[in-house]
């Protein structure tokens, strides 16, 4: 009972009582803020890359570079009829010439596009599944009607973008790992600094019979409280920033950016990150203090 009273009195002297009294909670808040942003970016990019891959793998573009407009339109019409009859094709739609001209206008200018310019006919094809055999069936049909036509898989054109997304995902994961290491290092430094500051108090507690585990529990609890405050403060700020960024992304109206969203599992993980940070800080503090106390003895 006496030891418990001594421990309680020492607890009030070992570390500041107020959660805002020292820099430790704010350091953890900053680390948690950056960690949550990096984790959210990694999960959103992963979802966007998955959606992009699923959408593009089953999409084909049929291009008919025929300068004769009459022959081109006839071939395009036959290909459309043939594609819609194939069991492997989910949908097939011709791209209007006006839409194609609008896409080329930024490159050629309005004056560069006129009726004498032979624009190719384009047909967007969506397959029921992205299989090589299904693509071969479409290519065979197109080649029978228009030997000069090309069948391109849209995923091939977007492969550089997919590679960029993968690189950004790994970069975000690396940032999460670095922030985790930095948070652990900050906790270790804080625990060592507290031990050095209160070395005399620790010696007195040892003389009174307090064990290393009891003393380590003091630092462990205080740092856990700091980590809890800092972790949820960082989470709150990160959520505000994420909501602001989400509004800006939705205002752009981009399908790719719009697909960079978080699911329920992703949000759950983000809300669990502060608790994971508390557990990590508590374990780091306990290990650090116990090792230092053994060296003191």
- Give tens-digit pLDDT for 183-204: 888 888 888 887 777 676 676 6
243, 250 Cβ separation under 8 angstroms? no
Most confident of 119-123, 162-166, 256-260, 272-276: 272-276
pLDDT at position 2, please?
A: 40
pLDDT at position 15, please?
A: 46
Half-sphere exposure of 261 (CA within 13 A, CB side): 9
pLDDT at position 33, please?
A: 94
Task: For the chain, give the mean pLDDT.
Answer: 78
Mean pLDDT for 288-292 is 80
CA distances from 118 to 65, 76, 101, 203, 251 (A): 8, 14, 11, 90, 36
pTM for this structure? 0.68
pLDDT at position 258, please?
A: 55
More confident residue, 102 or 280: 280
H/E stretch holding 280 reads helix 264-296
Q: Sketch the domain layout of the chain as residue ranges.
A: 2-53+160-296, 66-148
Mean pLDDT for 264-287 is 89
pLDDT at position 119, please?
A: 76
Question: Which pLDDT band, with edges at 50, 70 and 90, does 35 fall under?
Answer: very high
Residue 90 backbone phi and psi in degrees, to 5 = -85, -45
For 247, the token pair is 């509004």
Question: Which pLDDT band, with edges at 50, 70 and 90, does 3 fall under?
Answer: very low
215, 205 Cβ separation under 8 angstroms? yes
pLDDT at position 209, please?
A: 66
Mean pLDDT for 105-115 is 62
pLDDT at position 174, please?
A: 93
Q: For residue 136, is pLDDT > 90?
A: no
pLDDT at position 150, please?
A: 86
DSSP notation for 69-98: HHHHHHHHHHHHHHHHH-TTEEEEEEPPHH
60 - beta bridge partners? 125, 153
Residue 63 backbone phi and psi in degrees, to 5 = -115, 130
CA-CA distance, 86 to 77, in Å (whole number)? 15
Contacts of 126 (CB under 8 A, 6+ apart): 58, 59, 60, 89, 90, 91, 92
Q: For residue 275, is pLDDT > 70?
A: yes
Contacts of 73 (CB under 8 A, 6+ apart): 121
pLDDT at position 265, please?
A: 85
pLDDT at position 156, please?
A: 67
Question: Which pLDDT band, with edges at 50, 70 and 90, does 177 fall under?
Answer: very high
Contacts of 251 (CB under 8 A, 6+ apart): none
149-163, 172-186, 252-266: which has the minimum mean pLDDT? 252-266
pLDDT at position 124, please?
A: 87
Percent of the chain with pLDDT over 90: 12
Q: For residue 76, is pLDDT > 90?
A: no
CA-CA distance, 149 to 65, in Å (whole number)? 7
CA-CA distance, 32 to 273, in Å (whole number)? 8
CA-CA distance, 83 to 75, in Å (whole number)? 12
For the chain, the residue count is 297
pLDDT at position 110, please?
A: 65
DSSP notation for 163-209: HHHHHHHHHHHHHHHHHHHHHHHHHHHHHHHHHHHTHHHHHHHHHTT
Compute the chain's Rg from CA coordinates.
Answer: 31
Q: For residue 210, is pLDDT > 50?
A: yes
235, 273 Cβ separation under 8 angstroms? yes
pLDDT at position 155, please?
A: 65
Model confidence pLDDT, tens digit, residues 217-263: 777 788 888 889 989 999 999 999 988 887 776 666 555 555 567 77
């Amino acid at each position: 009972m006496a030891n418990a009273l001594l421990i309680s009195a020492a607890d009030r002297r070992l570390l500041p009582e107020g959660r805002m009294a020292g820099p430790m909670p704010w350091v953890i808040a900053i680390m948690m803020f950056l960690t949550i942003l990096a984790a959210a970016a990694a999960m959103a990019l992963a979802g966007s890359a998955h959606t992009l891959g699923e959408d593009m793998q089953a999409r084909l573009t049929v291009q008919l570079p025929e300068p004769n407009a009459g022959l081109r339109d006839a071939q395009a019409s036959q290909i459309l009829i043939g594609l819609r009859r194939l069991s492997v094709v989910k949908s097939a739609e011709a791209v209007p010439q006006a839409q194609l001209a609008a896409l080329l206008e930024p490159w050629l200018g309005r004056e560069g596009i006129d009726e004498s310019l032979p624009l190719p006919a384009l047909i967007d094809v969506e397959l029921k599944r992205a299989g090589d055999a299904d693509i071969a069936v479409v290519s065979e049909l197109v080649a029978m009607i228009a030997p000069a036509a090309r069948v391109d898989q849209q995923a091939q054109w977007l492969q550089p973008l997919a590679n960029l997304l993968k690189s950004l995902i790994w970069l975000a994961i690396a940032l999460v790992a670095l922030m985790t290491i930095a948070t652990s290092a900050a906790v270790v430094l804080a625990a060592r600094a507290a031990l050095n500051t209160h070395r005399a108090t620790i010696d007195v507690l040892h003389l009174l019979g307090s064990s290393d585990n009891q003393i380590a529990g003091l630092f462990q609890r205080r740092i856990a409280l700091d980590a809890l405050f800092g972790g949820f403060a960082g989470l709150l700020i990160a959520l505000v920033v994420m909501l602001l960024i989400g509004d800006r992304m939705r205002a752009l109206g981009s399908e790719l950016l719009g697909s960079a969203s978080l699911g329920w599992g992703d949000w759950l993980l983000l809300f669990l990150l502060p608790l994971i940070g508390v557990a990590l800080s508590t374990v780091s503090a306990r290990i650090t203090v116990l090792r230092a106390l053994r060296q003191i003895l």
